[in-house]
Amino acid sequence: MRTQPGRSHPAPPPGHDPRTPPAPPTAPGAPAPAPVPDAPAPPTAPDAPAPPTAPDAVAPPTVPGDPPTAPAARFTAAVPDSPLSRTPVTAVAAPIAPATPPAPGDPAPPTVPGDPPTAPARFEVAAPDGPLSRTPAAATAAPIAPATPPAPTTPVNPFVAFTVPTALATPTASGAPAVADVPTAPPLPVAPPVPVAPLLPTVTPLAPAPPLPGTPVGPTPRRIWPRSFADRLTAPLPGLRALARFAREGAVRPRPEGLRDIPLLPFAPGPLPRADAGTVAVTWAGHASWVVRIGGLTVLTDPVWSRRILGTPARVTPVGVAWDALPPVDAVVISHNHYDHLDAATLRRLPRHTPVLVPAGLGRWFRARRFTRVSELDWWEATAIGGVRFDFVPAHHWSKRTLFDTCRSLWGGWVLTDAAGRRLYFAGDTGYGHWFSRIGRRYPGIDLALLPIGAYDPRWWLRDVHCDPEEAVRAAQDLGARRMAPMHWATFVLSAEPVLEPLTRVRAAWRRAGLARENLWDLPVGASRVLAG
């Protein structure tokens, strides 16, 4: 008998059979229905065999005269999109326990002498692709709590920028509308936690500090992403008219006089600085590839150690850091899938258990290459490794790797924050726009911004996706960054500006902005700087 919480019911009259359903209510003044004599028990075949039972299953209680009970049902459920498992789960349906504990005064459920005590049902779930374990986790089914009406919830679209889970939404410093708090249902009783073996032994839960308001954390592996991220574009991609102009003008390489300065490009490789958990140091390997030492970790950004990438002439400066000179790599962050930022030949050199943090939609590219620790993040999401927090933030760019995957994966930059609150911003590849001020408000106190300054000419073609040197200086100011290190130049010849022009223009723009010269870290390829504590 199901009862409402907090209500009591009178004891049944003598002789009442608890299996007999109650009589339906009658309207006032209506004649009482005539009593129905008890129906005789159905005949049973003599010496009929008992129904088969599942192995190890507890036989259900029987009452003399009842018909035979069917065996416990077996079922198989496929869970293709579950965050815990993609394999069929087979279980045996256990007897259903009373839905709610009886209220004071209610009669106890009927029992039959000789019945064995009922044990709580146990089940196992295989979680090969879960974020925590690849071993089956056993748990004990808890009694079902009284049904309660569902609490109102706020619809959440995980594919729209700034949409955050209700429980994590807080007012943002940028003034963006926050998700309102809503009442929630009382928590269901749960079984004691079961210890599991961690899938990523180097990944730890996010620490509460430093406070980053309005930022959801903890993306679930193997999420379902939209087919296209074209709605995230800041500006439309070039159309037929722009492509015709590009083909007509053909200005994608510098003039010969612009290439004469290649021998003057700064190149000064040196040993990596010593670093510990209290050190933040950066070494420029060339283009957008940095060796970042932060919180005791070694992190590679957009690693490209190849001499040549698809569709581009060979490097004009060597790689600034020899691969064999690298310490063990603790994490790799990728900004987007263009060939000068995502190099398959370089990534093949990494152990497949290296944690890689990638934009939404790019995880399957890494899993196809047998990387086992892949985290896909949407804009404004974060994860943590070894006490260092990694936030994925927007950028003014796009993605394409083949003829058929335009904007099929996301693009963006990364904010790295150590336990002491020191913060580094890696822009990846981006044009100039409103995202920089938004990032600066959400992540105040950026100590160092790694910003692109090259591949910007002609402006009519590249303005929306690549900063020029003056825009990079404005972006550093919008971010509120204390220091800026230029990148994305002096490595590959990707556009029409002279090869040394980005450096001369960024120095002039920094000086015109009245910023301290020592805060412009215009490093040669291969050089390092250490952030003072």
Q: For the chain, how many structural domains are there in total?
A: 1
Rounded Cα distance between 155 and 110, Å, is: 45
For residues 391 and 330, is the Cβ–Cβ distance under 8 A? no
Q: Which letter does DSSP use for residue 250 in this model?
A: -
Host H or E run for residue 462: helix 459-462
CA atoms within 13 A on the CB side of 267: 16
With respect to residue 28, please indicate whether it lies within any of the assigned structural domains: no
CA atoms within 13 A on the CB side of 216: 23
With respect to residue 235, please indicate whether it lies within any of the assigned structural domains: no
With respect to residue 488, please indicate whether it lies within any of the assigned structural domains: yes
Tens of each residue's pLDDT in the chain, 533 residues:
444 444 444 444 455 444 444 444 444 444 444 444 444 444 444 444 444 444 444 444 444 454 454 444 443 434 344 343 334 434 444 444 444 454 555 545 455 455 445 444 443 434 334 433 333 444 444 444 444 444 444 433 333 333 333 333 333 434 444 434 434 444 444 444 434 333 333 333 333 334 444 444 444 457 899 999 999 999 999 888 888 888 888 767 899 999 999 999 999 999 999 999 999 999 999 999 999 999 999 999 999 999 999 888 899 999 999 999 999 999 999 999 999 999 999 999 999 999 999 999 999 999 999 999 999 999 999 999 999 999 999 999 999 999 999 999 999 999 999 999 999 999 999 999 999 999 999 999 999 999 999 999 999 999 999 999 999 999 999 999 999 999 999 999 999 999 999 999 999 999 999 999 999 999 999 999 999 76
Q: pTM of this prediction?
A: 0.62
Structure tokens at 75: 């079922």
Residue 476 lies in domain: 280-531
With respect to residue 188, please indicate whether it lies within any of the assigned structural domains: no
3-state secondary structure (DSSP) of residue 141: coil
With respect to residue 500, please indicate whether it lies within any of the assigned structural domains: yes
Structure tokens at 255: 């003039």
With respect to residue 392, please indicate whether it lies within any of the assigned structural domains: yes
With respect to residue 1, please indicate whether it lies within any of the assigned structural domains: no
With respect to residue 183, please indicate whether it lies within any of the assigned structural domains: no
State the CATH number of the domain containing residue 358. 3.60.15.10
